[in-house]
Structure 1
Amino acid sequence: MVMRFFPRSIRARLTAIATAIAALVLFATSTFMLVTVPDNLRDVVRDRVEVSVRRVAGDARAGELSTAIQVPARVHFLEVVTPSGDVIATTPGRAVHWKIKAFRPAEPDKVYVKEIWAPHERNAGETHFLVMAMSVPTPNGLVAVYGASSLTDVDRAIRWFEIQTFIVAPLILASVMGITWLVVGFALRPVERIRSKLAEITGQDLSRRVPVPDTGDEITDLAATTNDTLDRLERSAETQRRFVADASHELRSPIAALRTQLEVANAIPEETDWRATGARALATVDRLTGIIDELLMLARLDAGAVAPRRVVDMCRLAVEQVRRRKDAGVAIVPDLCASAPVHGSPVQLDRILTNLLDNATRHADTRIDLEVAVEEGRRVVVTVTDDGEGIAPEDRERVFERFFRLDSAKAKDQSGSGLGLPLSREIALSHGGTLTIADHAPGARFVLVLPRYQGA
């Protein structure tokens, strides 16, 4: 219910809040001033008249009173009157109206104060006076001392202040509202540009980015965070597109070959060697399964997925690889250290060794050297070297591109997918390591570097 009456726009809300705060401050200030200022102004007049009345009363008490009393500035008249109404002393040229003289002090030596409206001059309009009266004993008896000062200036100041309060204050509030509206609108202009740019970005084109203002404030952080989010979305979308493209590219050929084999066998069943056809079909299915496994693992790595990890001894993985390949036809010569602990996924790390040794087996002539060592106590280095024809320097980075295969590799083995080395590098990178090709003759040398596990 509260939100229904509260503006939805941030600009309107901030303007309303600023105006409300300004109104509250103006109300409190104006109330305080309206209560205190009139009394303070009257106190100034009262003090001025009281000083003059007490001075004249002192002269009368001492019997030193002059018949002509000179008044200080802003005191309009002073007059001394007997109880019978006779004027003993007065301010020359100032006539005291009877309304003022009707104000009688009740007790001697006590100052009485009263505000009276009376004519200032004879036949003049009434003036607002602050009158003080004091009864004082003299050598000739009791007399009353009167003093008065006009409150016209005080009334004028109070009236002007009230005008300021009730007319200028709304103008101030209107100014605060207008300025806040303009300032907030200017401050939110970058946000509107970000919003409009985001509205233009679609799933078909995630390459566009929102403008980042150089103000260095929260809006800059918002724009930078938005662009980081768009970067992640673009990478995710690109990963999905690449996975679809990779899958369609690599699966098309074996599926087509399998279909052709089955169609030919079905067309001439009496001449078909079904055992051989089944073996070829199974081999094709095995190849498809391997391709799909590699594509799925690449997709998970591209998406930043982290497989379960634990401490893995690369030496033990190497020993197991050598044991599985003792009948592979190419001798594997291991050179292993005592222990090479790495914190990682045992499945993925074993997959790197499998891919590297499979690649070396396809290209080696007589032997493969497998070395696992710990360097400087901080790095585990795995080296796989074959004695084949090697890889030209200009192709050493291209072999890590997906589906890229050298002509020599295609000639030796048609079943390769071109995904083993790219997958191995992605696994190495996800474990904080590297996979490169080093200079070596004859043959090729792959160097895998991983951070050594430093735990107890």
Structure 2
Amino acid sequence: MARFPRSIRGRLTTIAILVVAAVLAAGSSLTLSTVPDNLYGVVHSRVELAVRRVAAEARAGDLPTVLTPPARIHFLRVMSSDGRIIASTPATALQDAHLTEFRPGAPDTITTVERTAANGSEPEIHYLVQAVTVETPDGPVTVYGASSLSDVDRALAWIDLFVFVGSPIVLVIVGAITWAAVGSALRPVERISAELAEITGRDISRRVPVPDTGDEINALARTTNHTLDRLERSAETQRRFVADASHELRSPVSALRTQLEVANAYPDETDWKATGARTLAAADRLATIIDELLMLARLDAGAVAPRRVVDICRMVKDQARDRECGRVPIFLRLCTTAPVCGSPVQLDRLLTNLLDNATRHAATRIEVEVSVHQGQVVVTVTDDGDGIAPEDRDRVFERFTRLESARAKDKGGSGLGLPLSREIVAAHGGSLTVADHHPGARFVAVIPLYEGV
């Protein structure tokens, strides 16, 4: 058994042919089962009406010698029981002997037969002949009537021609038209496929052609181009991310290597305690950058860290306790409890990054507020430093972006803390923004409140 075509063009063509074939089959079956009977029925009724009219005249004794046939009645004749012609239509070239060679059955019962007879030099014609025997004042007579079936035969021949010859031709035409129409409709798809096949990871700046049709293929092409735009931006971001990450990682590695090379070259003149402290600080910075890069990579990949109910207020208290001996004091304004469903590791990194950022820029104090509002936990971290200009409030969340003020205050930053913080909050269904505040900067993190039992 042949398999159904796998191409859209082949499937649609096959479906169109099958649908039309089913319609033609149903229509042909209905036509062949009803039309012939209807056509024969019309002729039968016409002849029967003429025969019964003449029979009524014969029964009443008012039968003329020459009978006038109605329209489409080609022959009428009344014959006695001994074969004499009592009345008949006017003489014609019709060879009628063959039409009256049979006798009807019971009296007053119409008998119908089909006969062929020649009409002059013309070929034989197919007739429907009816006869009935009736009693008259002069004895029993038989009334004959006939009508040509030529029109019926021609109509049935045309019907047979259409059903058995025309239907296959119609199916071929439908298949060819469907094949051509679907091929024309799918031609833009072929061009899109060809263009996509030539687009590689090294060059995704190319775009597929957009047909000016306004249909689904037009929407497909535009969606494909939008997807390619996003892929190009993602690839560019990835390349920039790799380049920036390489640069940021190179700095602490180079510093660490330089210090060790100097210490190794001049061992007697090296303050090993100070060198150890500096190399340890460089190693800590390197570890921090690697941890942030790994966490960003997991968030970009959509990995979901193990989650449980975490009290943000408790986490803030723990952070503040660990920073009691820091450069600037931290003032807390906390609600009773602020439970959220999240990753403890990621949320702790969020608070660490926000507080580290505030510590670097604060002049005299840091304020942390945690509140619950309309099903949201709102964490606000405020410092009294130089603040962030409105035009830079989105830039600070770009990876490896460090403002001039940040570079001046801390040369060891990586520019990953705030972008990672925003990614963490987004992964928890919230948002992280910079709010208006003077003096200093205010970061507002909003995370959905856990309301489960």
Please classify the TM superposition score into its range, dividing by the shorter chain length. 0.7 to 0.9
From the superposition, tell whether residues 395 and 51 of structure 1 become closer, same or farther in structure 2 (CA, over 3 Å): closer
Note the alpha carbon deviations across 1:256-313, whole angstroms, 9 max, x for none: 1111222223333444444443333222211110011111222333344443334433
Distance in 2, Cα, partners of 1:287 & 1:144: 126
> How far did 1:19 drift?
1.9
Distance in 1, Cα, partners of 2:18 & 2:161: 21
Distance in 2, Cα, partners of 1:174 & 1:393: 70
CA contact (8 A) 1:41 1:154 kept: yes
From the superposition, tell whether residues 371 and 125 of structure 1 become closer, same or farther in structure 2 (CA, over 3 Å): closer
Deviates more, 1:313-322 or 1:196-205: 196-205
Distance in 1, Cα, partners of 2:387 & 2:150: 111
The structure 2 residue matched to 1:447, chosen from 433, 439, 443, is 443
> How far did 1:169 drift?
3.0
Please list every run of 5 or more consecutive structure 2 residues that lacks an aligned counterpart in the other structure: none
Note the alpha carbon deviations across 1:388-441, whole angstroms, 9 max, x for none: 455555555544443333445444433222222332233334441223153323
Query: For 1:383, what is the secondary structure of its paired residue?
Result: strand
1:304-453 aligned within 5 A: 304-365=302-363, 367-374=364-371, 376-391=373-388, 395-431=392-428, 432-436=430-434, 438-441=436-439, 444-451=440-447, 453=449
Query: For 1:2, what is the secondary structure of its paired residue?
Result: coil
The structure 2 residue matched to 1:134, chosen from 117, 132, 135, is 132
- Look up the match of 2:117: 118
> How far did 1:252 drift?
0.5
Q: Alignment length, in residue pairs?
A: 450
- Look up the match of 1:284: 282
Note the alpha carbon deviations across 1:313-336, whole angstroms, 9 max, x for none: 322122111211122243223233
From the superposition, tell whether residues 260 and 188 of structure 1 become closer, same or farther in structure 2 (CA, over 3 Å): same
Q: In the alignment, does 2:5 pair up with 1:2?
A: no
Note the alpha carbon deviations across 1:20-48, whole angstroms, 9 max, x for none: 33233324433442343333222211211
From the superposition, tell whether residues 381 and 108 of structure 1 become closer, same or farther in structure 2 (CA, over 3 Å): closer
Please list every run of 5 or more consecutive structure 1 residues that lacks an aligned counterpart in the other structure: none
> How far did 1:72 drift?
0.8
AA paired with 2:41?
D
> How far did 1:70 drift?
1.5
AA paired with 1:382?
V
- Look up the match of 1:100: 99
Deviates more, 1:105-114 or 1:391-400: 391-400
From the superposition, tell whether residues 381 and 115 of structure 1 become closer, same or farther in structure 2 (CA, over 3 Å): closer
From the superposition, tell whether residues 410 and 87 of structure 1 become closer, same or farther in structure 2 (CA, over 3 Å): closer
1:196-215 aligned within 5 A: 196-206=194-204, 208-210=206-208
CA contact (8 A) 2:78 2:144 kept: yes
Q: In the alignment, does 2:176 pair up with 1:183?
A: no
From the superposition, tell whether residues 400 and 71 of structure 1 become closer, same or farther in structure 2 (CA, over 3 Å): closer
Distance in 2, Cα, partners of 1:91 & 1:393: 113
AA paired with 1:294?
E
1:128-277 aligned within 5 A: 128-206=126-204, 208-210=206-208, 219=217, 222-223=220-221, 226=224, 230=228, 233-234=231-232, 237-238=235-236, 240-277=238-275
CA contact (8 A) 1:342 1:450 kept: no
CA contact (8 A) 1:372 1:380 kept: no
Task: Give the share of equivalent positions with the same residue, in percent.
Answer: 61
> How far did 1:214 drift?
7.9
CA contact (8 A) 2:372 2:449 kept: no
Distance in 1, Cα, partners of 2:431 & 2:122: 106
Deviates more, 1:387-396 or 1:418-427: 387-396
> How far did 1:249 drift?
1.4
AA paired with 1:285?
A
From the superposition, tell whether residues 28 and 406 of structure 1 become closer, same or farther in structure 2 (CA, over 3 Å): closer
> How far did 1:212 drift?
6.2
> How far did 1:75 drift?
1.0
AA paired with 2:69?
V
CA contact (8 A) 1:247 1:292 kept: no
Distance in 2, Cα, partners of 1:343 & 1:271: 55
The structure 2 residue matched to 1:64, chosen from 62, 65, 87, is 62
TM-score normalised by L of structure 1: 0.86
Distance in 1, Cα, partners of 2:24 & 2:54: 45
From the superposition, tell whether residues 204 and 76 of structure 1 become closer, same or farther in structure 2 (CA, over 3 Å): same
Q: In the alignment, does 2:97 pair up with 1:80?
A: no
AA paired with 2:146?
A
Deviates more, 1:335-344 or 1:142-151: 335-344
CA contact (8 A) 2:119 2:125 kept: yes
CA contact (8 A) 2:104 2:133 kept: yes
From the superposition, tell whether residues 205 and 46 of structure 1 become closer, same or farther in structure 2 (CA, over 3 Å): same
AA paired with 2:189?
V
